[in-house]
Amino acid sequence: MNLDHTHDPAAQSWVESANAADADFPLQNLPYGLFRRAGHNESLRAGVAIGEFILDLKLAAAAGRWDTPVRVQLQALANGDMNGFMAAPPATRRAVRHALFDALAAGSSQQAALQACLVAQSVVEMAVPCRIGDYTDFYTGIHHATTVGKLFRPDNPLLPNYKWVPIGYHGRSSSIGVDGMDVRRPWGQLKPPQAEVPALAPSQRLDYELELGVFVASGNPLGEPIPMARADEHLFGVCLLNDWSARDVQAWEYQPLGPFLAKNFATTISPWIVTMEALEPFRCAFAHPAEDPAPLPYLDSEKNRAEGGYAIELEVWLQTATMRAAGEPAVRLMRSNFGSSAYWTLAQMLTHHASNGCNLQPGDLLGTGTQSGAAAEESGSLLELSDGGKRPLTLPNAEARTFLQDGDTVTLKAFAQRGDARRIGFGACSGTILAARQA
């Protein structure tokens, strides 16, 4: 692991809210996002989350004392150029992390200058954190793939290629939004089993999918693959991702070419990018089961086996419109762990994507696929939790759900926790279902 003083679990910040044991954004995290003050007509600028605040990098670039190389990068971020920063060499990105960590650490001589550069997270609106040129969604959650496969293909749940190749499809980047977005129930072509012909109607089997998203850092020239040995330097950071899915549309359209309108109507991500540097303490060993085929050499490396996984706890919470009206909080539906749910690592996803010479670019987004655990209660979608809609979930207020209803708010949460490392979080990734538009 590439650990340094920014991972010291005992380090404290002069921003007091960052020192709370359950804070998502302690000093050891420092995720990046794009924001502006709510109600203000101003350009988006980059910031780093620290406790309940954001360090406004536009203000900090001018007010703080920085080495020249760091100042150059902060100035680009101040202008909202997150993609340019993503494209910087790993050593440059680490230098900025070190400078921000030192400036925000307890006892820093920069406290007086930077105090006025803090903005409360409660008064800002967040945006998609970078320009996402392309979005690819993988299918790395083997427990999800097996369970869903049994619903569609009881005798052949996993197709022969699943344990050899990281499966993925190209999504729609234009419909990606951030935490707090409204999701309009989509129309689609539906064909229930008993119907003779399909019909165009609002989806009745609307679902969420619990995923992580990983952002590409520096890209690769067209025609030049990225080997596993260099995959890590091409990964920038991770967010939460909800791949909203219209299951009835999906069931009718997905053969032979896979997901299309069932997936591209909306994707929600969390607004903060937790950097790969912040996730270093949470690396864990990775291996396929002994009885499964070993990855082909281009998808294998000693480092990937030793520490290719990440111990990240994942959760799904649901608040219905009735619960919200009664002042009742959201309820947790499940919890799983990315370290044990993913069949392919982030490095393998990226390397496979570029293995044919596909040119990835800074800011491209790769989804992991639904991260369900092995147990039924660890399922990352309602499709699994309700056994394809056959077993409704009963909520604490006696409401029942097989799929999402209008007014439901789904919130994804995550935190990384391992050994004595400082726990870090990802913030929320929520969306609320709105009724379908009238025909």
As annotated, the active-site residues are: 144
Give the C-alpha separation, 49 to 41, whole Å: 22
What torsion do the CA atoms of 151, 154, 159, 163 make, to the nearest 10 degrees? 80
Are the C-beta atoms of residues 141 and 380 closer than 8 Å to each other? yes
Q: Tokens 């049994």 belong to which residue?
A: 150
User: Tokens 């007509």 appear where?
Assistant: 41
CA distance 16 to 102: 15
CA dihedral 128, 130, 131, 135 (to 10 degrees): -70
Strands (E), 338-408: 365-367, 393-394, 400-401
In sequence order, the 6+-apart residues with CB closer than 8 A to the CB of 72 are none
DSSP designation for 295 = P
Is residue 241 within 8 Å of 135, Cβ to Cβ? Answer: no
Answer for the pair 30, 103: CB distance below 8 angstroms, yes or no.
no
Give the count of beta carbons closer than 10 Å to the beta carbon of residue 77.
22
Other C-beta atoms lying within 10 Å of the C-beta of residue 111: 15
Backbone angles phi, psi at 428, to 5 degrees: -100, 155
- Could you tell me the maximum CA-CA distance found in the chain, to the nearest angstrom? 74
Helix/strand/coil (H/E/C) assignment for every residue in 25-74: CCCCCCCEEEEEECCCCCCCEEEEEECCEEEEHHHHHHHCCCCHHHHHHH
Of 61, 63, 59, give the one whose Cα is nearest residue 71: 61
